[in-house]
């Protein structure tokens, strides 16, 4: 069983319309829904569409189709693609993200630097661990010059720790595992780590469910939030990193079960029970549990 908080819970489903939702997405959403509903909490649908180059109308529609297929409801968020585009798209908040980044740079001028490296340059110059080697860190390039990204300077030996609700105490060596990361892209859009923190704080989210493969993102966001004016409350967010679904070869199931056409879970599964059973397995529920959402709610008792 998972250790679950007793305080009022506000959580979110945060899909990205850059591909069809796969089994891993469906399991994460169902687990998030189950834990939030079991706690009597509030659930938001928060769609991340910053990367407009990869977004497609079919992918956006697939989000709503998959949630309906799974039987997952939510308390706040768009009811469909049209309402999302009109009122909920991150494109409506670009000025808000930019204001936060400018304020952070003004408050912590030594923490950020401009970077002109292209993907080709990065591929050639990457450090042995694959991280950014600091090529532009000492160049003092102008922040307002065109075609430059912004990076945050992660000090040597920086570590981030938090009490994970499923895994227990967690510590990530952020310098070693991520290094100096991008906070503002060359096109002026905020990087995912920035927008995610700002959006979660705007919605009042205090409980985030993620796979273990996103521990580094969690560490980056917890560390960055302390430098984003008005966002320090993010450091009080409760995180639960669940195990990943693996096949017999030890590969992430979300990758290995995709069809050749990459059509996602709706094209692969005959019923949502395959998702419910996977969630039951992650929660350590008795074998055979997972015939319905109602059964999951009845069988799961957080401690």
Residue 34 clears pLDDT 80, i.e. is over it: yes
pLDDT tens readout for residues 235-262: 999 999 999 876 555 566 554 445 444 6
Q: State the chain's mean pLDDT as an integer.
A: 91
DSSP annotation string for the chain = ------S--EEEE---SSS---HHHHHHHHHHHHHHHHTT-EEEE------TTT--HHHHHHHHHHHHHHT---SBS-SSHHHIIIII-GGGGHHHHHHHHHHHHHH-GGGEEEE---HHHHHHH--TTSS---TTTTS---TTSTT-EEEE---TT-EEEEEETTTEEEEEEHHHHT-SEEEE-TTSPBPHHHHHHHHHHHHT--EEEEEGGGHHHHHHHHHHHTTSTT-GGGGG-EEEEEPPPB-TTS-BHHHHT--TT---HHHH-SSTHHHHHHHHHHTTPPTT--S-HHHHHHH----
pLDDT at 260 (0 to 100): 40
Percent of the chain with pLDDT over 90: 82
- Domains (range + CATH), the chain: 10-299 (3.40.50.620)
pLDDT tens readout for residues 145-162: 999 999 999 999 999 999
pLDDT tier at 123, thresholds 50, 70, 90: confident
pLDDT tens readout for residues 171-212: 999 999 999 999 999 999 999 999 999 999 999 999 999 999
pLDDT at 222 (0 to 100): 98
Question: In terms of pLDDT, which residue wins out, 284 or 85?
Answer: 85
């Amino acid at each position: 069983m998972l250790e679950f908080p007793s305080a009022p819970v506000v959580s979110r489903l945060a899909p990205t319309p850059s591909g069809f939702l796969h089994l891993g997405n469906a399991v994460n959403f169902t687990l998030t829904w189950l834990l939030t509903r079991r706690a009597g909490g509030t659930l938001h649908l928060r769609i991340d569409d910053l990367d407009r180059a990869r977004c497609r109308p079919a992918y956006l529609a697939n989000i709503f189709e998959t949630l309906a297929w799974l039987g997952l409801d939510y308390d706040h968020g768009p009811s469909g693609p049209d309402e999302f585009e009109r009122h909920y798209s991150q494109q409506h908040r670009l000025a808000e993200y930019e204001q936060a980044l400018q304020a952070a740079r003004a408050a912590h001028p030594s923490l950020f630097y401009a970077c002109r490296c292209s993907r080709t340059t990065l591929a050639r110059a990457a450090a042995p661990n694959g991280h950014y080697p600091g090529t532009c860190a000492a160049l003092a390039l102008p922040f307002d010059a065109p075609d430059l990204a912004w990076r945050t300077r992660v000090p040597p030996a920086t570590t981030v720790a938090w009490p994970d609700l499923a895994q227990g105490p967690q510590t990530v060596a952020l310098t070693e595992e991520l290094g100096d990361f991008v906070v503002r892209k060359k096109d002026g859009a905020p990087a995912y780590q920035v927008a995610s923190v700002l959006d979660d704080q705007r919605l009042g989210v205090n409980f985030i469910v993620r796979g273990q493969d996103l521990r580094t993102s969690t560490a980056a966001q917890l560390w960055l939030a302390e430098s984003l004016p008005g966002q320090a409350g993010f450091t009080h967010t409760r995180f639960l990193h669940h195990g990943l679904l693996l096949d017999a070869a030890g590969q992430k199931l979300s990758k290995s079960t995709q069809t050749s056409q990459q059509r996602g879970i709706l094209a692969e599964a005959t019923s949502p029970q395959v998702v419910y059973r996977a969630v039951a397995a992650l929660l350590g529920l008795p074998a055979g549990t997972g015939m319905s959402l109602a059964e999951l709610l009845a069988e799961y008792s957080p401690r």
